Amino acid sequence: MFKSPSHAFALCAFFLTSVLCTASGKTPEKPADSQHFIIYLTNERSGDLSEIDSSTLQVIATIPLGKRPRGIHASPDHRFLYIALSGSPIAGPGVDESKLPPPDRSADGIGVFDVQQNKLLRLIPSGSDPENFDITKDGRTIIVSNEDDAKATFVDIATGKLTKSVPVGEEPEGVKVSPNGKFVYVTSENNGTITAIDISTATPIKTIKVGRRPRSVAFLPDGSRAYVSAENDAAVTVVDTAKNEAVQTITLGEPGKIKPMSVLLSADGATLYVSTGRGHKLFVIDTSTNRVRASQEIGERPWGIALSPDGKTLFSANGPSNDVSVVSLSNLSVTRKVKVGDGPWGIVALPR
């Protein structure tokens, strides 16, 4: 039977692929399934990683990591998770730090976790007491906030070496690389500022005054604005990134009761989600007007938040109750709570 040239070409491609795969002993990788994903949680007090399967909402694995895992982010290709680990003892508000045990600096660093092998491969030294970080757009460098020594460090992933150290404000926490990859914002909890750093030269560009105790940063997709949580002001500060200036304050409630922690934008940048820690609530902000659209209690001290790949569900890490809230964004209802390790802090969701 006659076969068209396109049909013959397809057959050749099929057999050639089969031969190459047999020779190499490998099969072609399947594309990620956006309907099926894994939710990864860092548990600060138990020192491990919880993995939740999206199809069952059950914990399928608990992997030891090290001391105080907090910030967690995926590599651009999703092959690795990077996790901030710290040997500094936990010191909450009002704790006399002089009475705490000495820090274990050998435990400080960025853990490299292989998603396919499901194990921690190595620990990259990154400075004293790393809390959070972000990854440059090329996936080669991690920029880390080191809480104890008021510095942001640049870490080369391939060599595992700390290459640069940049002074920032005291108690740095939030780190976010701009969408164009040219600069990074690092928040200072104590100073109420953001340090803008030129990534190519690792030099500070400007110090920006924002609200009291800034925790995290989110950029609009076009990079024109940044949103910064101001925990002690019960507000979100809007920053004009061209001017590197705060231009607006979005008030969420009464200071001391509403305590904004994580800020997270939808993929299209139209909606900003804000967790509020001891305020128990999730706030939803329309970025076209910078007004609060809705709010809802979702858990006991929701901290880290993540979106499902389709953007329809939000997950929050609730530290004191040791669980994750599953929030349907269509009506802001908590559809389920999943028990995890002790002190969940950071959270990401990756397609599998």
Q: Is 35 left (phi over 0), alpha (psi -120 to 50) or beta?
A: alpha
Of the candidates 154, 160, 125, 159, the residue with the CA atom closest to the CA atom of residue 142: 154
- Predicted pLDDT of residue 100: 80
Distance between CA atoms of residues 92 and 277, nearest Å: 13
CB neighbours of residue 188 within 10 Å: 22
Distance between CA atoms of residues 171 and 40, nearest Å: 26
CB within 8 Å of 251: residues ≥ 6 apart: 233, 234, 235
Instruction: Using DSSP, state whether 129 is helix, strand or coil.
Output: coil
Predicted confidence (pLDDT) per residue in 107-155, tens digit: 999 999 999 999 999 999 999 999 999 999 999 999 999 988 899 999 9
- Predicted pLDDT of residue 13: 39
Predicted confidence (pLDDT) per residue in 1-44, tens digit: 434 444 443 433 333 333 333 333 333 344 444 589 999 999 99
User: What Å distances lie between residue 95 and 55, 89, 232, CA to CA?
Assistant: 41, 11, 18
**Is residue 141 a contact partner of residue 157, using CB atoms and an 8 Å limit?**
yes
Q: What is the pLDDT along the chain (352 residues), one digit of tens a residue?
A: 434 444 443 433 333 333 333 333 333 344 444 589 999 999 999 999 999 999 999 999 999 999 999 999 999 999 999 999 999 998 766 666 677 889 899 999 999 999 999 999 999 999 999 999 999 999 999 999 998 889 999 999 999 999 999 999 999 999 999 999 999 999 999 999 999 999 999 999 999 999 999 999 999 999 999 999 999 999 999 999 999 999 999 999 999 999 999 999 999 999 999 999 999 999 999 999 999 999 999 999 999 999 999 999 999 999 999 999 999 999 999 999 999 999 999 999 999 8
Structural tokens at position 309:
């790949």
Helices and strands (H and E) in the chain: how many: 1, 28
